[in-house]
Chain A
Amino acid sequence: MASTPPSNGTASTSPQRAAVIGANRIPFGKAGGAYASASNLDMLTAALSGLVARFGLQGERVGDVSAGAVLKHSRDFNLTREALLGSGLDPHTPGFDVQRACGTSVETVTAIANKIALGQIESGIAGGVDSTSDAPIVVSDRLRKTLLRLSRAKTAGQRLSLLSTLRPADLAPVAPNVNEPRTGLSMGEHQAITTRQWGITREAQDEVALNSHHNLARAYDDGLFDTLVTPYRGLVRDEALRADTSLEKLAKLKPVFGKDAPDASITAGNATPLSDGAATVLLGTDEWAAQRGLPVLAHVVDAESAAVDFARGEEGLLMAGAYAVPRLLARQGLRLDDFAFVEIHEAFASTVLTTMAAWADEDFCTRKLGMPALGEVDRSRLNVAGSSLAAGHPFAATGARIVGTLATLLHERKKADGGDASSAPVRGLISVCAAGGQAVAMILEA
């Protein structure tokens, strides 16, 4: 009787997995480079417009659009909605902003996919954008408070007396930084500590960086990005990409983080450069896609977020991926070998290496996760089309870049295997670390 389905009279409404239909991003620029004069709104609008053009969505009312930025001006309070209004979508399309640091657009994909899975919407767009070139500058508290009072002042006399209270020092802008507020350390300094703890060598990091550049360059040459990237402001490929880099060139770079230690190993070559860019992903139900003759590249299977207590030094700042992924795999009953592709965001080359080292470490897994080790990642499945080290990392845009790329890789692998919808699934795993000791992980399946 155990096999008898429940028959209590109510229809079962099992969630429907959201389809990744396609993606579009602009090539990522280097800070102060091709997009130096582009705002978050400009870039997100461009990425959305390219998506609209690629899928013929002009005038279409999409169920919801979610995007966000990490470095956000106060004027960008409704960034996503403003961007979609300039994108060619039906202006009746709603949009909302999300921020989870570098995990932002994995989070927006999750949010939109969940709405689709629950039947709340049939289609949606997830994305993210960041500009380190057009970063907001914060003014001193005294200047800000004075300016606010000034705007409420009624008479010229009041205004004058308010202005007279300002001192030259009040006018100096507070330089923007992405240091962790609780430790005052930059991400690089945090990662330098973690790198040393796990005994990651400079050579291993440079090798990850080299592969990233070569893999990304090859993917461009193979045309992988013809369906994923729309050029913007004269940039056709990612500005940080160095197709001709070599281990010798990388070995010559001086360490930039953790320099107090003699074995400092994080250089400008194996750390991601500050970047500008935007990326978007189109999601929907299979039916919505079919009605429009749109492809289904893959489906969103599941997602997990995690955080670590980095502030008290119990774990490395960027190590939460080591927690999110095992929990996700355990819930889905999957092992690392079940994945044809593994995407680990290259905040630093050593982030990838420390995360993988943790997954393989029995002691770490039993002690901190209470489960057996996941084992080694097959390096031939890791970041096969390059990742952040070569592409750049405009914080909130990275997740959508990875989801779009991975979905395309899964689709092509499935096609190459001659598979149809009913054949064995081809799976991909994503792990993206984020500021604040956080991480997000996701499973896609074609």
Chain B
Amino acid sequence: MTDTYLNLVNSGLTKEMAKKLGLPRPAELRRTDPGAVDQPLIPGPVLVLGSGRADTAADSVANTLLSWDLDVHRTLPNRTIGAIVVTLTDITHPEQVSERVLEVGAALRSLAPSARVITISRPAAEAADPAVAAARHGVDGFGRSLAKELRAGATGNGIVLSEGVTPDSPSATGALRFLLSARSAFVSGQFVNVTTPDGEAPGDWTRPLAGRVAVVTGAARGIGASIARTLHRDGAQVIGVDVPAAGEQLAQVMNEVHGTALQLDITGADAAQRVIDLARSRHGRLDAVVHNAGILRDKLLANMTAEKWDAVMAVNIAAQLRINDALLSAEELAPEGLRLVSLASTSGIAGNRGQTNYGYSKAAVIGMTRALAPRIAEQGGTANAVAPGFIETEMTAKIPPVPRQIARRANSLQQGGQPVDVAEAIAFLLSPQAGGINGEVLRVCGQNLVGQ
């Protein structure tokens, strides 16, 4: 699961050779130090750009950043900077943006490794005026293109605030902090929509899930084990679920995170009830469920068997639908509102040869999540999906070497992500500061070249 190429081009003699040969040199990404979470939040001062003194959005962002003890500048300081945040919430015509984007451009050469560029804008869909919509939607192409220009592990992302959502609303600041921090190491070229002013700042930003109880399916290994560890790091009590055959690894992971192991086949008719009963009796509540369990049965459709197709549907989508139904009708389960996150996949967005079954199931997860969002919002909860791209796991380690190398390099960060990168995005979506983010599909793919 180690990326040998990445190690070679970043160390010793081979690093010098790679430089001379002009080989692509994926950077080692800055990630959260579990011993010093969010310290430092970003690798240098932050430059906040807006339309000038009158831009209240930029002021608001600057104040938020100052409250996190960051070194905030409104003009480019004469040193390396950790992030650029540019507010574009006020634009009404495409001709308005040149001054600000060129200012961003002038600052790019000052970015530190693993720096961040973040745009804050409004959704085009909410604009009736074609000029306003054009100005707003332009940010989409600008941001995704800029993210592809960034080097040395830097990422570019955007936050899109619906009408009525101010830059100081909980989920706007929550998203800003997530995208600035090392938690979003493998998220690039993405836009996070904040549609409501719901949610609240956590008591402690480094332990936002303190006091919450979370169920993670497929928790025995890979991304699931990483999710369990990350949720535990953020303060959650974890109930780990996996099939009985994976019980040994599940027990190890649960003992590591002081959680509870539940050996359970999620496709069973009583699966949801057993999860709910355990959470109720052991903790008296259930705040979050991460539908991570999933299987692959890859075959070209011409060779697909009913067994392979049906197995993927049963685990990847049917079990989730059944469990969600039970969760939504369980009374007084989640005092703060239930948070759901499902694992989608870039295969469900862009498609992948040999994965018609997997692609169907993962696209189905996206469909389910969007339909669930308004329903669960009525109960004060959220439903979101995270779509990983190429992540270094036991599963992807089985891909033959050449396709694996290609898959790794086919994104803006030129490397595979780590399971913890997916886990970080999930932890964010489950946190109190993400209460205004609902029905989203957040990609964790290093800006994979396929799909959006």
Which residues of A are in contact with B by a Cβ distance under 8 Å? 46, 49-50, 52-56, 58-59, 88, 223, 225-227, 229-233, 236, 292-295
Contact = CB atoms under 8 A, between A and B. Distances in A.
B247 interface: yes
Given A55-B260, A231-B245, A236-B244, A293 B282 contact: yes
21 contacts: A50-B247, A50-B261, A53-B250, A53-B251, A53-B252, A53-B260, A56-B258, A56-B259, A56-B282, A58-B258, A59-B258, A223-B265, A223-B268, A225-B244, A226-B244, A230-B261, A230-B263, A236-B247, A292-B282, A294-B281, A295-B281
Contact of B263 (A226, A232, A292, A295): A226
B2 to A, nearest CB: 24
B283 interface: yes
Most buried by A among B247, B259, B283: B247
Nearest to B263: A226
B260 A230 contact: no
Q: How large is the interface on B (under 10, 10 to 19, 20 to 34, 35 or more residues)?
A: 20 to 34
A199 B98 CA distance: 101
B255 A53 contact: yes
Contact of A49 (B251, B281, B284): B251
B194 to A, nearest CB: 35
Most buried by B among A55, A88, A232: A88
Interface string B223-267: 000000000000000000000111110111011001111011100
Nearest to B251: A53
Nearest to B250: A53
B81 to A, nearest CB: 43
Contact of A230 (B247, B258, B282, B284): B247
Contact of A54 (B251, B258, B280): B251
Interface in B268-326: 268, 280-284
A50 B284 CA distance: 23
Contact of A88 (B250, B255, B283): B255
A292 B281 CA distance: 8
Nearest 4 Cβ contacts at the A-B interface: A53-B251, A53-B261, A293-B282, A56-B260
Most buried by A among B254, B259, B263, B280: B263
Given A53-B260, A56-B260, A293 B250 contact: no
A231 B259 contact: no
A53 B254 contact: yes
A53 B265 CA distance: 17
A52 B247 contact: no
A244 B174 CA distance: 58
Given A53-B260, A54-B251, A236-B244, 15 more contacts: A49-B255, A50-B248, A50-B261, A52-B251, A53-B250, A53-B261, A54-B260, A58-B258, A227-B263, A229-B244, A231-B246, A293-B282, A293-B284, A294-B281, A294-B282
Contacts of A50: 247-248, 251, 261
A73 to B, nearest CB: 24
Contacts of B259: 53, 56
Contacts of B280: 293
B214 to A, nearest CB: 14
Contacts of B263: 226-227, 230
B207 to A, nearest CB: 18
Nearest to B268: A223
A230 B280 CA distance: 23
Contacts of A295: 281
A230 B251 CA distance: 8
A316 to B, nearest CB: 39
Nearest to A236: B245
Most buried by A among B248, B261, B281, B283: B248
B264 A54 contact: no
Contacts of A88: 255
Nearest to B264: A226
A229 B260 CA distance: 15
Nearest to B261: A53
Interface string B161-187: 000000000000000000000000000
Nearest to A230: B247
Contact of B252 (A49, A293, A294): A49
Nearest to A26: B248
Contacts of B247: 50, 229-231, 236
Contact of A232 (B248, B265, B283): B248
Nearest to A295: B281
Most buried by A among B250, B260, B284: B260
Contacts of A56: 254, 258-260, 282
Nearest to B244: A226
A52 B282 contact: no
Contacts of A230: 247-248, 251, 261, 263
A236 B252 CA distance: 16
A225 B245 CA distance: 11
A236 B263 CA distance: 12
Contact of A231 (B248, B254, B258, B265): B248
B234 to A, nearest CB: 18
Contacts of B265: 223
A421 B259 CA distance: 29
Nearest to A89: B255
A33 B388 CA distance: 40
A50 B282 CA distance: 17
Contacts of A231: 244-248
A232 B245 CA distance: 9
B258 A293 contact: no
A56 B254 CA distance: 8
A49 to B, nearest CB: 6
Interface in B76-107: none
Nearest to A232: B248
A325 B255 CA distance: 39
A233 B284 CA distance: 34
A226 B263 CA distance: 6
B394 to A, nearest CB: 15
B1 to A, nearest CB: 20
A67 B259 CA distance: 25
A374 B419 CA distance: 62
B312 to A, nearest CB: 22
Contacts of B255: 49, 52-53, 58, 88
Contacts of A226: 244, 263-264
